[in-house]
Every structure is written in structure tokens, then in C-alpha cells.
Amino acid sequence: MMVTNPTSTSAAFLSMLKRDLLIAYRRKNDVVNPFMFFFIVVSLFPIAISPDPEKLGEIAAGVLWVAALLAGLLSMDNLFRADYEDGSLEQLLLSPHPLYFMVLAKNISHWLVSGLPVVLVSPLLAYMLNLPAESYMTLFLTLLLGTPVLSLLGSIGVALTVSLGSRGLILAVITLPMSVPVLIAGTLAVQQNLNGDALAFYLAILGAMLLASIALAPLASAAALRISVN
């Protein structure tokens, strides 16, 4: 028969990553939506609360973090939906490679497309909200460490709900409670920085959360996907 040359897991991982980035590139609104949402939500606060720079500076970190969390949630649903509907997800489950890496590849490409732009633009919006300049770097770092955690946790919720016909708010109900520790650590870190205290502790906590969720969340997502296609 044919000469067979089985794919290595790393090649399958890269192929998965490439495919998802290509799909994101073709479906540009998926990329722009969370970004625009983030921008709009943040710009509503000065209008609704007060344009007073003092007040804005106080709430800036919290506003940016909550907006980033909601923007991430908004885009989460795309993660497995299309693949579930067109049957690609079944093919993924039937691949000889560990599902962990396949799910991780999907998570990474999803974060690159929907999380990273939000992180990159956050200093600009922080400037708009009059966050003290010395905290830009802290905000940027905490978001850089925190948004991948939010994506990874969200992916578990998406995997659990992908086969439900009408999901409505259930994804938010599952995901948001899990996200609270990240939100607390992220906003506290910026607060510490504003007070002039050391923030290594909070960054370490966020880093630990990131490593733990990279190690564990794809496993949970993979198990949830197997249940969802059952």
C-alpha cells in the first residue's frame, strides 16, 4: 500500500495553529469585534461617571480589566462552535495525537487573535482614563499574564456548552466566577503599583495562574469536548 509517514505531534500542533490563524484572517470581524467592544466599553466610563481626571485615574485599572474580561468573553464562543457545526471537531477527536495539544493550539491562536490586540492597546486607553503613567507597564504586564488565563478558563466553558442549542448567558455564568481570582490579582497589582508598594507578589500569583491553567485547562477542555460530541 502507500508509504506512510505519520505526523509528529508538533507538526499537527503547528498545522492546527496555522489553520486557526488562517480562519481568523479570513473572518476579520472575529478579530475586530472584541477589540472594538473593549474600546467602546472603556470610552463609555468617562461619559457616564465623570470626565474628572482624578476620579477616572482611580477607577482606570478596574475598568480596563473588566472591559478586557468581557471582550474576551464576547469572542470565546467562536472557539469551538464552527468546528462543532462542520464536523472538524470530530476529526480532531479522532486524530492520533493527544487532544491536549490540539486544544492548546486552538487556545493559543484564539488568544493571539482576540486577547493580544486588547493587551497591546491597553496603555493607550489607560492614557485616556488618566491612569498615572508609572502604572502603564504594570497594567500591560498584568493583562499580558492575565488575559491568556481568561482565555484558557473560558475555553473550558465553551467546550462544555458547544453542543447546546440555545446557550444565552450560560457561558458567562460558568466562566465569570472562575475568572474572579484573575481579576482580583490583576487589579490589585495595579493598585499596589499606584501606592508605591512592591508588586512582585501579584505578578508571581498571575504567573502561577497562567502556568497552572496552561497545564490543566486544555485537559479539562478536551474532556469537556469529548462529552459534548457524545
Which stretches of the chain bind other proteins, using CB under 8 A? Answer: 1-7, 11-12, 15-16, 19, 22-23, 26-27, 82-83, 85-88, 90-97, 226, 229-230
How many CB atoms lie under 10 A from the CB of residue 83? 20
Shortest distance in whole angstroms from residue 154 CB to other proteins: 22
How many CB atoms lie under 10 A from the CB of residue 31? 16
Shortest distance in whole angstroms from residue 224 CB to other proteins: 14
Whose Cβ is closer to other proteins: residue 4's or residue 195's?
Answer: 4
Whose Cβ is closer to other proteins: residue 165's or residue 168's?
Answer: 165
Contacting residues for 141 by C-beta, under 8 A, at least 6 apart: 189, 203
Shortest distance in whole angstroms from residue 19 CB to other proteins: 5
DSSP for residue 167: -
Whose Cβ is closer to other proteins: residue 12's or residue 185's?
Answer: 12
Q: Could you tell me the CA-to-CA distances from 178 to 147, 174, 189, 201 in Å, in that order? A: 13, 7, 19, 20
Whose Cβ is closer to other proteins: residue 52's or residue 86's?
Answer: 86
Q: And the C-alpha cell for 38? A: 473593549
Shortest distance in whole angstroms from residue 217 CB to other proteins: 22
Q: Please, are residues 151 and 119 in contact by the beta-carbon 8 Å criterion?
A: no
d(CA 157, CA 159): 5
Whose Cβ is closer to other proteins: residue 42's or residue 225's?
Answer: 225
d(CA 134, CA 198): 13
Shortest distance in whole angstroms from residue 14 CB to other proteins: 9
